[in-house]
Structure formats: structure tokens, C-alpha cells
Amino acid sequence: MPELPEVETIVRRITPYVVGKQLLQIIIRHPKSVLGDPKMVEGSTVTLVCRRAKMLVFEFSNGNALVIHLKMTGQILYQDAKLRLGGGHPTADWVAQLPSKHTRAILEFSQDSRVFFNDMRVFGWIKIFSPSQLRQEFQKYAPDVIAAEVTSANFFEKLQRRKQTIKVVIMDQVVVAGVGNIYANDALHLAKLHPARLASSLTLVEAKILLAALRTVLQLGIEKQGATIDSYRQIDGFSGSYQDVVRVYGRSGLPCLVCGELIRRTKLGGRGTFFCPNCQPEVVS
């Protein structure tokens, strides 16, 4: 599942090729994948590509925006006469003939270039918004965890109010946006906090350490251009290498990089949870 660093990586990769180009038309191949009126952005020029939480945002010269959420299996692939690049969920479609049977929409740009939105399981979406609709949509999400407006004091305050485990709470986009499973696991290990601690049991100091740890692992994720856990991890222009520096995610039974104790796996909120029983002791809370 593409997380914040993977989406940020796509933004950085496609920006030089998309900004300044005119969106000629949106070809919809799976109607449920595209919500809103394509005419609101067709004919307009892309002024900015950016990220909000785990969403990719195209802003247009007429003020409207097109937002893509990759969810579990979404991919964004840019292609012109000379090159193809992008990212998201790793599948054979990265290098297959496009469009593929998983292509749900094609954004056709000037200069014979295209952005393919592929989505195997069809949980992802494209939505088209006016400026006021976009503001309303983004209000559903808390500020990005790496945004300066998230302070340790207000992060602590939010944790205090929650009676769930800390791992589940930091992945709740209403608390802070942009934390997915890989980076939640690794941040808790870096912060030396057991993932099953109750969020409300953390002290202000622990909340501060955890917020810093979340930012550290996400920044490292961005630096490594995201993680490509499955196959296809060696394809330039698509994959990332965070999996080579991962702390605990996917490492059950392997030695902790800090103390050598074997990493354990459990499940919290239905998601695979990895921790070192020595570095992250379970305290009664």
C-alpha cells in the first residue's frame, strides 16, 4: 500500500514532466474510479503537483484541482515518447504495455504525454474539485504529521483522548495524516514504545519522542524514494529502497538492529505489527 513517502516520490518524479502542460482530456475506463466533472479541468494547464496526506493533487490554472488516492493497489505512471516513470503499488504494469487491464483512467496531456491511473483492486479514486470543494475535502484530514503546525503539545493532547493502542491511533488520519503501516511500525521501534500501549498512557515526553521518530522515518522514506516490499524492487524510475533500511517492518524472526533480540510479529487493528520485545517493553498501562 503506497504511503506518504511513496506518494511524495511520485509527486517529485512527475512534477518536471507535467507542470506547465495542458490537460487535453480524461479517458475514463472504469466509471466508478473517477468522481466529479472532468470538464472542470480539461483544457486547463497544470500549475502544481503536490501531496496532501497520502493523496496526490494536480492544481490547474483555472483554480480547480484533480486529486488521486492510490489506496491499496493504485499506481501512477507517466509516459511520453521518450520515457516512463512513476510509482505506487508495485506490479508488472510498471513495465507492461499501457493501458493495461488495470488502467482505470488516462489523463491525456499536451506534448503527447499521458498519466495512467492503474488500480488492480479498484479501491483508489480520482476526484475533481472546485477550490471550495477541495478545502472541504481536506478538512476531513488532520494536518500532515511532517507539517510544522503539528506540535508535540497538540499531538500529546490528541493521544490523551484516545483509548486505543498507540499504533492504531497514529495511523488514524483524523489524529495525524500520512502515517501508514510500515512507517508506524518503524517509528514506534525508533521511539522505543510498545505498539500495544494505550495512546492515553503516553507521557508528554514520550509523545514528543514519538512525533520526532515519525518524522525521522518518513523523511528517511522520502530520501529512499519509498519502499518497494514486493517484487519489482529494482526497477529504476519506479521503485524505492526504504526496505533496505527498514527497522522492524516485515522482519519477524530476524535480529533487532539495535540489540539483537528477535523481532516479533502480532496484529493490531488488523494490520501486521512488528516490534522488539527488548527495545519496546510492554508496560502496564
| Pairing mode, strands 34-35 and 125-129 | parallel
Shortest reach from residue 194's CB to Zn ion, in Å: 12
210 neighbors 166 (Cβ within 8 angstroms): yes
Query: Among residues 185, 262, 252, which one has the least CA distance to residue 1?
Result: 185
19 neighbors 100 (Cβ within 8 angstroms): no
- Judged by CB under 5 A, the chain residues 259 through 278 that form the site for Zn ion are 259, 261, 276, 278
Nearer to Zn ion, 231 or 278 (CB): 278
Residue with smallest beta-carbon separation from Zn ion: 256
Q: Which of 52, 54, 104, 167 is catalytic?
A: 54
Shortest reach from residue 191's CB to Zn ion, in Å: 13
Nearer to Zn ion, 244 or 261 (CB): 261
The rounded distance, in Å, linking the Cα atoms of 155 and 139 is 17
Nearer to Zn ion, 189 or 224 (CB): 189
- Judged by CB under 5 A, the chain residues 199 through 258 that form the site for Zn ion are 256, 258
The rounded distance, in Å, linking the Cα atoms of 127 and 36 is 6
**3-state class (DSSP) for residue 126:** strand
Secondary structure letter of residue 282 according to DSSP: P
Radius of gyration of the CA atoms of the chain, in A:
20
Shortest reach from residue 70's CB to Zn ion, in Å: 32
Verify whether residue 131 is a known catalytic residue: no
Q: Is 86 left (phi over 0), alpha (psi -120 to 50) or beta?
A: left
Shortest reach from residue 257's CB to Zn ion, in Å: 8
Number of residues that bind Zn ion (CB under 5 A): 7
Secondary structure letter of residue 229 according to DSSP: -
Verify whether residue 2 is a known catalytic residue: yes
The rounded distance, in Å, linking the Cα atoms of 120 and 142 is 28
Shortest reach from residue 210's CB to Zn ion, in Å: 17
| Residue 279 grid cell | 527495545
Question: Would you tell me which residues interact with Zn ion (CB under 5 A)?
Answer: 256, 258-259, 261, 276, 278-279
Residues identified as active-site: 2-3, 54, 271
